[in-house]
């Protein structure tokens, strides 16, 4: 579809903001996806384009914690394939849903993502308590494949809040530090996003010009967010993003 220069500017600015928000607090999709639909991109195409555009951000997050993945090869062998399969299944479900049905589901998906983002700190605190307890019988990454796979289906379908879900699942079934579990979460989220994005490449739904502008904007935003870290309280920013998400969902519901 054709997209004007002004619309590209708006999408690029939203991507910068989304990249910064992801670096600081998470929830950048709640900014980028609504902007794509606001400039006239159909909901399914907007979601597909958003998924493709955010791949570099997931890669950067994974590479940043690469050292923390050492010694987790067995987990990766089980959980990354679950993420890949789930991401593709979610992508298939998205393209099979149809524009009208997906548009109807969008406000509820945004509300779900906003709720997950709002619950991020309590969930993270729960993971810390869980992983700090002694006496676990050992790792059970095989048991994690099903819930991780289900989370990946959601991630391939919409994506916002995926990281929160995956981290909660890992904290429930694996006995390890939060840092190492967070690194594993990054690798799983990357596998989900890349698998869905590769599937979407052949869908004909990617608005390529917008995706390229967003990818660049998200990278710039990530750098900006990194530099602002420590100057902005993540919890305050998260509350702002949650508020935006609820407002956007309300607009979708009444629109």
pLDDT reported for residue 53:
92
CA distance 83 to 69: 16
CA distance 192 to 50: 14
The residues that bridge with 109 in the sheet, in sequence order, are none
pLDDT reported for residue 213:
96
The residues that bridge with 144 in the sheet, in sequence order, are none
pTM of the full predicted structure?
0.85
3-state secondary structure (DSSP) of residue 206? coil
The residues that bridge with 232 in the sheet, in sequence order, are 229
pLDDT reported for residue 156:
94
pLDDT reported for residue 191:
95
Angle, nearest 10°, between helix axes 120-132 and 99-118? 60
Helices (H) and strands (E) in the chain, counts: 12, 0
CA distance 188 to 169: 12
CA distance 184 to 62: 8
The residues that bridge with 229 in the sheet, in sequence order, are 232
Domain span including residue 180: 5-254
DSSP-derived secondary structure letter, 232: B
Q: Which two tokens stand for residue 67?
A: 């050292």
For residue 1, count other CB atoms closer than 10 A to its CB. 10
Number of domains in the chain: 1
Angle, nearest 10°, between helix axes 141-157 and 73-97? 30
H/E segment holding residue 111: helix 99-118
Average pLDDT per run of 10 along the chain, which is 255 residues long? 89 92 81 94 95 86 86 92 96 93 92 87 79 57 86 92 85 82 89 94 93 93 78 81 89 82
């Amino acid at each position: 579809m054709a997209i004007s220069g002004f619309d590209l500017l708006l999408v690029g600015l939203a991507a910068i903001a989304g990249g910064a928000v992801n670096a600081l607090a998470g929830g950048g999709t709640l900014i980028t996806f609504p902007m794509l639909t606001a400039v006239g991109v159909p909901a399914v195409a907007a979601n597909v384009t958003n998924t493709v555009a955010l791949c570099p951000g997931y890669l950067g997050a994974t590479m940043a914690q690469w050292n923390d993945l050492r010694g987790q090869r067995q987990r990766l062998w089980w959980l990354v394939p679950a993420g890949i399969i789930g991401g593709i299944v979610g992508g298939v479900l998205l393209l099979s849903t149809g524009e009208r049905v997906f548009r109807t589901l969008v406000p509820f998906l945004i509300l779900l993502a906003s709720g997950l983002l709002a619950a991020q700190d309590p969930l993270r605190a729960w993971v810390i308590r869980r992983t700090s307890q002694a006496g676990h019988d050992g790792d059970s990454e095989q048991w994690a494949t099903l819930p991780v796979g289900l989370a990946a289906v959601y991630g391939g379908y919409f994506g916002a809040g995926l990281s929160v879900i995956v981290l909660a699942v890992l904290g429930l079934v694996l006995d390890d530090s939060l840092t190492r579990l967070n690194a594993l979460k990054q690798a799983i989220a990357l596998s989900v996003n890349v698998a869905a994005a590769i599937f979407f490449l052949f869908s004909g739904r990617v608005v390529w010009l917008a995706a390229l502008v967003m990818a660049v904007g998200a990278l710039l935003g990530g750098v900006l967010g990194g530099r602002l870290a420590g100057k902005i309280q993540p919890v305050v920013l998260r509350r702002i993003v949650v508020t935006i998400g609820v407002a956007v969902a309300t607009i979708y519901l009444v629109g």
